[in-house]
A and B are shown apart, each in its own frame.
Chain A
């Protein structure tokens, strides 16, 4: 399916090298796999022995009731939390414990549930910060400015402008983020994550608190990002309609455990999942 050869153990890829979705998108081999992850905060176990994989080019949703451990899972992947047990395999290699910035350099970018932008800075500057991991000029270059730093800034600006165009936020390019409505701030956050040119994009509730129209816009952008840049996307979302429409496969969590994993239709009809969401008592 993909030309890129990825070396990995046979056990990691039981279903072969991927498939083609009904709408013509190519789902490739596994890029990231979490194996038997357990995360504890003191006596509280946030994540209990969870394993799943993420395939290249897919949109992978993580759903579950509040407090199920979804955001913690994302924080584990992004290197913010270090699980007590379990392994993370990225591109066929076991990942040693890493700092978030090291994870970012590997090509994993994220957005946050509570918007984490620099409020006083303009949209353009905020998105530029997303390119920091790609900048090569050092402090001396920056101080001299002419030459290397200037060339680099121009190249980065061009990349950022393409993202601004892509996400249709030209009209707020110079506006300080704090003056923007919530829905647009979310879009700016997505823009900043995209500026890092990630291979894997982690979206923590990209549509929380949005109205229907804003959700539709955001859904379209997520699909377009996936389609246009081939970015693999993991998203946490509560709106079931959105999850069912967008995602290729869904992981369902409840009380830190994985209770379901599969295509949206399958998951939707899983009695365990229904029980978790509707609060039906377990027999």
Chain B
């Protein structure tokens, strides 16, 4: 059996996803980082961006994460985000509308949020 790590993706007001995984790719402020079982303890600041989780049964979970932290120790990985959404929960049309609205309002952070959401939704 391949080594596994336990992943918990938690938002401020709920636990979004948790389970066993073989690889987690997330974007930190200093670049993309991939974490596999046995990685050294790590604590990093996340950029808003999509997080890819390869589950141990071969599936893939993609989530849009807006700011937060990644912490890894003892094969337990936690992704803490103020806002986190799984790609299946994202309403593409709503995100597109939000993107357009943000573009017309010149709201850079809202635009970025909508973009991340869309990217996570389309790569599923």
Is chain B a partner of chain A in the same complex? no
